[in-house]
Structures are given as C-alpha cells and as structure tokens.
C-alpha cells in the first residue's frame, strides 16, 4: 500500500503560525473623537504606521468597526485596556 504525503510548503506553515494569534481588538466608530486623536492612539497603542492608522480609522468610520490589532490573548487584552483608557470603544476576542 502506497501513501502519498502532501509536501509541506511555506504557506502551510504560515497558516499554522497565524492561527496561534487568532485574537483581535476591534475598534468601534464613535462621534466623540476626532480622526487625528484616533489615528494617534492607533499609532501609539496598536503600533501602527500613520498610513495604517488612517486606513483603520476610515474603515471604522465607514463600516462602524475595524480590526485594529491582532495578537495573543494577553497582547490583545493589554491593547484593549489601553484603548479603553484612551476613551475609545473597543472589544477583543477570537
């Protein structure tokens, strides 16, 4: 009996590594904060570039919410706490 094994490609490995960090922080749109404040928070607290921060802020504005951070449960919990302390509305989960 012959068994065929699927070759292991880099994409397969990447998918397995990515699944470890399956937690997300979601930023919700609000009418209280200005774009510049939200962008600054995203850069400082979520480690985003100016361009990434602007894109996330626009997505939250247009769709009501946007993923602003992905990482381990502990990382996401910490980022969500800091974002909440900055008076932004966020949640985190799988």
pLDDT > 70: percent of the chain: 78
Around Cβ 48, how many Cβ atoms within 10 Å? 19
Task: Tell me if the pTM is above 0.85.
Answer: no
pLDDT in tens, 23-58: 999 999 999 999 999 999 999 999 999 999 999 999
Q: What residue spans define the domains of the chain?
A: 29-93
24, exposed or middle or buried, with CB in 10 Å at 0-12, 13-18, 19+? Answer: middle
Q: What per-residue confidence (pLDDT) applies to 5?
A: 44
Strand partners, 66: 27
Sheet containing 65-71, strands listed edge to edge, beginning at the edge strand earlier in sequence: 65-71, 23-28, 90-93
Q: For residue 28, count other CB atoms closer than 10 A to its CB.
A: 14
pLDDT of 3 over the 90 cut:
no
**Where is pLDDT greater, at 39 or 14?**
39
29-93, what's its fold? Ribosomal Protein L30; Chain: A, (3.30.1390)
């Amino acid at each position: 009996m012959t068994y065929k094994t699927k070759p292991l490609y880099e994409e397969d490995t990447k998918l397995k590594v990515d699944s470890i960090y399956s937690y997300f922080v979601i930023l919700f749109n609000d009418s209280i904060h200005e774009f510049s404040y939200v962008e600054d928070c995203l850069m400082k607290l979520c480690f985003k570039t100016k361009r990434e921060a602007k894109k996330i802020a626009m997505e939250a504005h247009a769709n009501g919410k946007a993923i602003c951070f992905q990482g381990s449960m502990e990382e996401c919990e910490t980022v969500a706490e800091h974002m909440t302390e900055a008076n932004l509305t966020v949640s985190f989960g799988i």
